[in-house]
Structure 1
Amino acid sequence: MRNRPSSRLLVIDPDDRLLLFKFVHLAGALTGQQFWATPGGALDPGESYEAAACREMFEETGLRIDDPGPQIARRSVTFTLVDGERVASDERYFLIRVIGADISSTHWTELERAAIAAQRWWTRTELAATSDTVYPEDLADMLTRAGVW
């Protein structure tokens, strides 16, 4: 199993809503299964978690940042990527506040265009009430500990 260090982005708009993407599995036994997750992704070779957070922010939202701020959470998890590959991931979470809610998919990869079915800004109440699968499972607690909610 491949190790996959990654930066995850907790993008918060002026109304304290969290940006999540809806992913759909494209291959393997999980084909068609859906879940919501934060923007972000794997580090490029030699890239720091902070640099990856800045790059992923631009690629997945179209917004440029020079500094992702402090890492507010970390988790180690094994999961199946949307293309069917099983990985062991060391995820670092960065809280990023934005001044508007407009994002762009212009810089998405072909895989992201195929795998991301929707994007949505969530309130704490909406996240608590959903029956949809959301990763990480303790996302609301993570944001509460960070003083967002």
Structure 2
Amino acid sequence: MAEAPTGRAVPRSVVRVVVLDPDDRILLLRGHGEGDHWAMPGGGVEPGETPAGAALRELAEETGITGVEAGPLLWRQRVVFRRAGRLWDSDEWYCLVRGDRSGAGRIGPVVLERPTFAEARWWTCGELGRSHETVYPRGLAGLLRRLLDEGPPAGPETLAPEIA
């Protein structure tokens, strides 16, 4: 694990969207800037917004996917990272959404998101397990395998904190 960044961190509540297609592929976006990496669509939960509402809004903004329903919250994780010169302390929730591949595979309509993401890709669990690329959260292949084998947990599971 990386060493914890120093300085005062800005707290942030975030939701990430675990988008699975009918063939159990997961949608990941390739971010760039301060290190190439793959991550799920998602972003900040706005005041008065539920995690499910934020998940659907972020999914539409970042991928153009609409007309889906938010499923259960799967995981929760504390993530500390630096972006754009700021240190963030993020309380992240992971929400399941089942959908199809229509409208995805392109970067969504929100202009502010375009500099953040370079590519969208649907991954199988096996591809994730074999990849040498940086994927967040770490261990996603195992988490996805367990989700596909056992179904969603009864309540959100707490993942180990991550310093990115």
**TM-score band w.r.t. shorter chain:** 0.7 to 0.9
CA RMSD, 1 decimal? 1.9
Distance of 2:119 and 2:99 partners within structure 1:
19
Distance of 1:63 and 1:7 partners within structure 2:
16
Distance of 2:67 and 2:12 partners within structure 1:
23
Cα offset, 1:115, TM superposition: 1.8
Cα offset, 1:146, TM superposition: 2.0
TM-score (norm 1): 0.85
Distance of 2:27 and 2:101 partners within structure 1:
11
Residues 31 and 39 of structure 2 are in contact (CA less than 8 Å); yes or no, is this contact kept in structure 1? Answer: yes
Match of 1:87 in 2: 88
From 10, 19, 25, the equivalent of 2:18 is: 10
The percentage of aligned residue pairs carrying the same residue is 39
Distance of 2:121 and 2:68 partners within structure 1:
24
Cα offset, 1:85, TM superposition: 2.2
Residues 68 and 97 of structure 2 are in contact (CA less than 8 Å); yes or no, is this contact kept in structure 1? Answer: no
Match of 1:43 in 2: 45
Match of 1:137 in 2: 138
Cα offset, 1:7, TM superposition: 0.6
- Counterpart residue type for residue 5 of structure 1: S
Cα offset, 1:129, TM superposition: 1.0
From 60, 63, 73, the equivalent of 1:71 is: 73
TM-score (norm 2): 0.77
Aligned length: 141
Return 5+ residue gaps in structure 1 as ranges: none
